[in-house]
Amino acid sequence: YSMAYFCSYYRKQGMFISQICLFFTGAALAPLSNGLSLPISVSTDRRWSRRQVFAHSSAAMAAVAAGTTPAIAAEAYEGYAMTESGLRFFDLEEGTGPQPQDGQMVKVHYTGLLNGFEKEGGPRATYCGETLQVPPCKFDASRDRGRPLTFAVGTGKVIKGWDEGIVSMRVGGKRRLIVPADLAYGNRGAGGVIPPRATLYFEVELLEAK
């Protein structure tokens, strides 16, 4: 996806560098056949500079060439339970409160990431587009706003992966969700920040259900 944006940008500018895109795009897209997602190129509130686009695209291709992207994907699933739909989850802390029922209003704090979760002892994830590192990056976080999300669970008000992943929690619980594209935004992506067919990574905390 980074390479696609890079090519599109320079093609629109009429620059000769767009002529090399066919070669590099082929290399960049190869991992997609294994279900991997590459970093995105545009943040939710600003477009990147030419330098950022070039550097980020180069970083993505370097990760693919070095074989680091498949390793991240494999590690992401270790220890997770998987439902029939393909949703994966891992309880960081089991709640002791009630379990929400379909239609109830729930209050949730969350962090949404692309390309995996933060590694213990590693650097903190920044928002997608703010740095040139590859994974992971945040595309949304209620905690950063200091305002949890409230919605009716199990009613289709949020992505399918959330309805399924949160309704089986108990109040007070904290959980990691790995949401495949079919339970998230599918082929269309979202908000100019989530690419098509992206797997999404969430850390969620169920604060209230009533």
Q: Which of 6, 9, 10, 202 is catalytic?
A: 202
Determine the Cα–Cα distance for residues 206 and 1; give it in Å rounded to an integer.
33
- Taking CA atoms, 202 is separated from 8, 14, 22, 138, 168, in Å, by 30, 39, 34, 10, 15
On the question of a cis peptide bond just before residue 195, with omega within 30 degrees of 0, the verdict is no
The residues pairing with 201 across neighbouring beta strands, listed in sequence order, are: 113, 178
Which is it for the CA torsion 140, 142, 147, 148, positive or negative? Answer: positive
Q: Which of 1, 139, 163, 166 is catalytic?
A: 139
Q: Which of 40, 159, 166, 178 is catalytic?
A: 159
Q: Is 110 tagged catalytic?
A: yes
Q: Is 159 tagged catalytic?
A: yes
Q: Which of 6, 140, 178, 194 is catalytic?
A: 140
Q: Which of 163, 185, 194, 201 is catalytic?
A: 185
Q: Is 185 tagged catalytic?
A: yes
Q: Which of 9, 110, 117, 201 is catalytic?
A: 110
Determine the Cα–Cα distance for residues 123 and 104; give it in Å rounded to an integer.
37
**Catalytic residues, which ones?**
110, 139-140, 159, 185, 202
